Amino acid sequence: MSDSFPRQYARTQRLTLGEPRNVVVSPDGRRVVFARSRAGDDPVNCLWMLDVESGDEHLVVDPVALLGAADDENLPQEERARRERVRETASGVTAFATDHAVTVVAFALSGRMFVAGLVSAQARGLAVDGPVFDPRPDPGATRVAYVSGRALRIGELDGTSWELAGDERAEISWGSAEFIAAEEMGRQRGYWWSPDGSAIAACRVDLSPVGTWYIGDPANPETPPNPVRYPAAGTDNADVTLHVLALDGGSTEVHWDRETFPYLAEVRWASPTRLLLTVQSRDQKRLEVLDADPRVGATSVVFSDEDTAWVELVPGTPGVLGDGRLVMVVDRDGARRLVVDDEAVTPTDLQVRSVLDTGEGTVTFVANPIGDATVHHVWRWSSDGLAQLSDADGVHSAAVGGDTVVLRSSVLESPGSSTAVIGGPTIASLGERPLVTPNVSLHRYAARELATAVLLPHDHDGSPLPVLLDPYGGPHAQRVLRSCNAYLSSQWFADQGFAVVVVDGRGTPGRGPEWEREVHLDLATAVLDDQVEALQAAAGEHPLDLGRVAIRGWSFGGYLAALAVMRRPDVFHAAIAGAPVTEWRLYDTHYTERYLGDPSIDAGPYAANSLLPLAAELGRPLLLIHGLADDNVVAAHSLQLSSALLADGKPHELLALVGVTHMTSQEVIAEHLLLHQLDFLRRSLPPPTARATHD
């Protein structure tokens, strides 16, 4: 039986399996460590090493050989939560950490500790007290720290272990990132080894101020609901403090004005006697980088920034050059610019997206032309100036160690991605070739030059086609990219007889700070207006039947889809809203308050952006899809909207996914979810002959 695209897309986890990932380069540039499964349909990641000089790949860790099975049977709750936060769907070695020289690696499988020598390619288990989460070797590879439940522990290489910090109270944990840090700030960890291995800077998280929500499993009523500490907008966050824990005893709390700056966004050791912290105010309009003395806990401000809307957290910052200069990324002169000791070193026509590496005298970063966010290039700054390290128009990132740069690149012209050492060997990709080939054209439409992708069926005869808008449309994510794999599911819908239109409007990243801030206090108006404007412009160049227009989306895209069909039924004739945020008071503090403010201070923006008051306006077919186990956008969003629609007598469809979180990682569900959406679109969009009566 031949494969279908929905089956392949689900079986290969969206064509990601078999691709090299989590690349780490040793400081001497000689070794590249990475995770990769053995085939494009194998969900179990192994750990590999590339010898840069010879180009040979060596298998370091095979989880099945170590355990006799994959690792997902006995995962600690902390690891399940981490995978949910980073949208991890694979198993095996999904995360690992190394010593400073990248000679030893530590990882956890099924809650057990393992270490491996990268030169010897030998792995062994350490029978430490568990369960084990987030193991990290010290810089000298003499011991491994790890989290076990609520405690931070030290594992010795002889298998003994001892508690460095812990608390008997259930609300307090050491060494883990709280929900807000992991989901919204990009901080996935809660402890950091000092460069000399003598101490650890560790977060103490007190969840007692955070309200408890309960996520149940209606399909199994005998199972008690899972209590989740969820910091909803306008409510209290976790109380997070930072402590320097000496391995030979003693603890020093790092002090700063936590009342003004409660968010701890990043922690980095600059030297054994210098610790850098990034802290942020609750309203996110102020940010400071603090220089802390780990011996006494005193801090001083070395950088500050403020904005009338919000200050962006940029991955990879702060950084410190070999001579002590601070590296930051700052919104200045209409662009997001790389700044070295308060001197902007990138031009105003370049938007910096992330810092990949700060070396002795260089900074490697990702940026795009501010007028074209569809391409992401890797750049390097030094005192000699700027150099672009990637060539082809596409989406590029990199890992750096010494003079070795491993470039990961994807382009529009060919599927998948390539991972290669610049000027050296290529790391093999074992991913499958997709069963669809995007027939896509990219455009900049209307006065705002809205980035728009239009996908048509192959060999289409030019007759008008029903239209499917397929956006995300909101902050922190792009859909219009010069990358083939970005359009695979969209092309499958196109091949079923649709013209698919994908638009990145105001609020999406890459087009400059002012563009992103167009959604401040209003996540609905500009976002929806840009979808409509790009759709109408696309109809002037492509065979679009504007009498048959549908829209689908997930998460923010689900919110946008439901918003579109209720606010603009003159444009949109059907909508599929997957895991939508329908009531922003039910979403978390850090994300929601950045855009809509604090509802306990001003609830106006929340009322204006909620979908619940629009229920009476629905006059088009709407399919709501939601995973009942979702702890990010909880199922209450769709259930409350469904209840409001029913109360107003508005027919709609609700598809509840049992046991599914914000990700649809289960193969059968992921496959049939695409097929169900197609069936809904075919049922809901009027045929051309029936359009007059339907409208």
Query: Does 379 share its domain with 458?
Result: no
Q: Is residue 615 part of a domain?
A: yes
* 159 phi/psi in degrees, rounded to 5: 100, -10
Reported as type and span, the H/E element at residue 676 is helix 667-684
Query: Does 368 share its domain with 479?
Result: no
Distance CA 403, CA 98 (A): 19
Distance CA 688, CA 233 (A): 45
Identify the CATH number of the domain in which residue 654 sits. 3.40.50.1820
Distance CA 638, CA 347 (A): 44
**Tens digit of each residue's pLDDT (9 = 90 or more) over 601-626:** 999 999 999 999 999 999 999 999 99
- Choosing from 165, 183, 199, the residue where a domain stops is 165
**High-pLDDT (> 70) share of the chain, %:** 98
Q: Is residue 260 part of a domain?
A: no
**High-pLDDT (> 90) share of the chain, %:** 94
Average pLDDT over residues 256-270: 98
- Choosing from 133, 165, 197, the residue where a domain stops is 165
SS (H, E, C) 108-154: EECCEEEEEECCCCEEEEECCCCCCEEEEECCCCCEEEEEECCEEEE
Q: Is there a contact between 473 and 527 (Cβ–Cβ < 8 Å)?
A: yes
Q: Is there a contact between 76 and 82 (Cβ–Cβ < 8 Å)?
A: no
- Choosing from 165, 190, 211, the residue where a domain stops is 165
Query: Does 513 share its domain with 611?
Result: yes
Query: Does 478 share its domain with 593?
Result: yes
* 682 phi/psi in degrees, rounded to 5: -65, -35
DSSP string, 166-214: --SSTTEEES---HHIIIII----SEEE-TTSSEEEEEEEE-TTSPEEE
Q: Is there a contact between 501 and 490 (Cβ–Cβ < 8 Å)?
A: no
Average pLDDT over residues 245-250: 95
Q: What is the extent of the structural domain holding 31?
A: 1-165
Query: Does 541 share its domain with 489?
Result: yes
Average pLDDT over residues 24-44: 97
Query: Does 374 share its domain with 508?
Result: no
Query: Does 449 share its domain with 335?
Result: no
Identify the CATH number of the domain in which residue 48 sits. 2.140.10.30
- Residue 689 reports pLDDT greater than 50: no
Query: Does 345 share its domain with 492?
Result: no
Please give the pLDDT value at position 72.
Answer: 67
- Residue 690 reports pLDDT greater than 70: no
Average pLDDT over residues 468-494: 98
Q: Is there a contact between 212 and 227 (Cβ–Cβ < 8 Å)?
A: yes
Structural domains of the chain, count: 3
Q: Is residue 18 part of a domain?
A: yes
Q: What is the dihedral of CA 555, 561, 563, 564, to 10 degrees?
A: 160
Q: Is residue 180 part of a domain?
A: no
Sheet holding 104-109, edge to edge: 97-98, 104-109, 112-117, 122-126
Average pLDDT over residues 377-383: 97
Spell out the residues 6+ positions from residue 687 whose beta carbon is closer than 8 angstroms to its own.
none
Peptide bond into 6 cis (omega under 30): no
Spell out the residues 6+ positions from residue 567 whose beta carbon is closer than 8 angstroms to its own.
524, 528, 614, 617
Average pLDDT over residues 18-28: 97
Q: Is residue 138 part of a domain?
A: yes
**Tens digit of each residue's pLDDT (9 = 90 or more) over 611-664:** 999 999 999 999 999 999 999 999 999 999 999 999 999 999 999 999 999 988
- Residue 541 reports pLDDT greater than 50: yes
- Residue 688 reports pLDDT greater than 80: no
Please give the pLDDT value at position 665.
Answer: 79
Average pLDDT, whole number, for the chain?
96
Spell out the residues 6+ positions from residue 97 whose beta carbon is closer than 8 angstroms to its own.
105, 106, 107, 134, 135, 136, 137
Query: Does 9 share its domain with 149?
Result: yes
Average pLDDT over residues 495-503: 98
Q: Is residue 343 part of a domain?
A: yes
Q: Is residue 532 part of a domain?
A: yes
Q: Which two tokens stand for residue 120?
A: 């010897």
Query: Does 19 share its domain with 154?
Result: yes
Q: Which two tokens stand for residue 685?
A: 């969009």
Average pLDDT over residues 35-61: 96
Q: Considering the entire predicted model, what is its pTM?
A: 0.96
- Residue 693 reports pLDDT greater than 60: no
**Tens digit of each residue's pLDDT (9 = 90 or more) over 392-450:** 999 999 999 999 999 999 999 999 999 999 999 999 999 999 999 999 999 999 999 99
DSSP string, 443-458: EEETTTTEEEEEE--T
Average pLDDT over residues 362-380: 98
Confidence tier at 71 by pLDDT (50, 70, 90): low
Q: How far is CA 45 from the centre of its chain?
A: 19
**Could you give the 3-state DSSP secondary structure of residue 415?**
coil
Q: Is residue 346 part of a domain?
A: yes
Query: Does 639 share its domain with 590?
Result: yes
Q: Can you say whether residue 422 is alpha, beta or left, with left for phi > 0 and alpha for psi between -120 and 50 degrees?
A: beta
Query: Does 504 share its domain with 637?
Result: yes
